[in-house]
Structure 1
Amino acid sequence: MSLDLATTRRIAKLARIGLDDQEIETVRAQMGGILGWIEILNEVDVEGVPPMVGTSQTTALPQRQDAVTDGDRQNDVLANAPDREGPFFTVPKVVE
């Protein structure tokens, strides 16, 4: 399928893409190629193939156990701080 320049300009305007005359010709050719591939896909026989509604029909995602882990890692976390005061990170004052 081939698009005319007016249709290509209208699509570019709807997509809010600013194109000059040289670019519009390139985009027209590219969009024509895409529409050509769609026409080829329309020729594929899908008789008897059930539609895929979504990914929920596939296998379930693996789940991990909801277990309490050791959360007492304050000293390990603060060891990476460039500056600290007690159990807190120290940062430069940004508001006067």
Structure 2
Amino acid sequence: MSVDKETVANIARLARVRVDESHKESLAKELSNILGWIEQLSELDTEGVEPMTSVVSMKLPLREDEVTDGGYPDKVTANAPEGAHGFYAVPKVVE
């Protein structure tokens, strides 16, 4: 897949990143190279290969879920700049 300067400009706009016009050509080449590597990976035969979550096969330790109220709201909110009634107090963000 080939990436052109207009595609780079669109990606930069979506990512909210400012890209100088002088850098767009080099970024287009780099993105094209990256997509080329990904296309090469799609050529591999992965039939019968189990999905991996880690390079080491291991079972994660499990524990019983316990529902608690914490029991110490004063300790939790002690470092808050402002607190009210055992909760964090934050500035209003909705107008």
For this structure pair, what is the TM-score category when the shorter chain's length is used for normalisation? 0.5 to 0.7
Structure 1 residue matching 2:44: 3-state secondary structure: coil
Kindly report structure 1 stretches of 4+ aligned residues shifted beyond 2 Å. Answer: 57-61
TM-score, normalization: structure 1? Answer: 0.54
- Residues 1:39 and 2:39 are matched in the alignment: yes
Whole-angstrom CA distance in 2 between matches of 1:34 and 1:44: 17
Moved more, 10-19 or 30-39: 10-19
Equivalent position amino acid for 1:59 in 2: M
- Residues 1:29 and 2:8 are matched in the alignment: no
Q: Per-residue deviation at 1:13?
A: 1.1
Does the 8 A contact of 2:8 with 2:27 survive in 1?
Answer: yes
Q: Which has more helix, going by share of residues?
A: 1
Post-superposition Cα deviations, 1:31-78, rounded to whole Å, max 9, x if no partner, equal 0000000000000110111112x24x82257xxxxxxxxxxxxxxxxx
Equivalent position amino acid for 1:15 in 2: A
Equivalent position amino acid for 1:40 in 2: Q
Q: Which runs of 5+ in 2 are unaligned?
A: 61-95
Does the 8 A contact of 2:4 with 2:25 survive in 1?
Answer: no
Q: Which residue in the other structure is 2:48 paired with?
A: 48
Q: Which residue in the other structure is 1:59 paired with?
A: 58
Q: Give the number of equivalent residue pairs.
A: 60
Q: Which residue in the other structure is 1:73 paired with?
A: none
Q: Which residue in the other structure is 1:9 paired with?
A: 9
TM-score, normalization: structure 2? Answer: 0.55
Identity of aligned residues (%): 44
Q: Per-residue deviation at 1:26?
A: 0.9
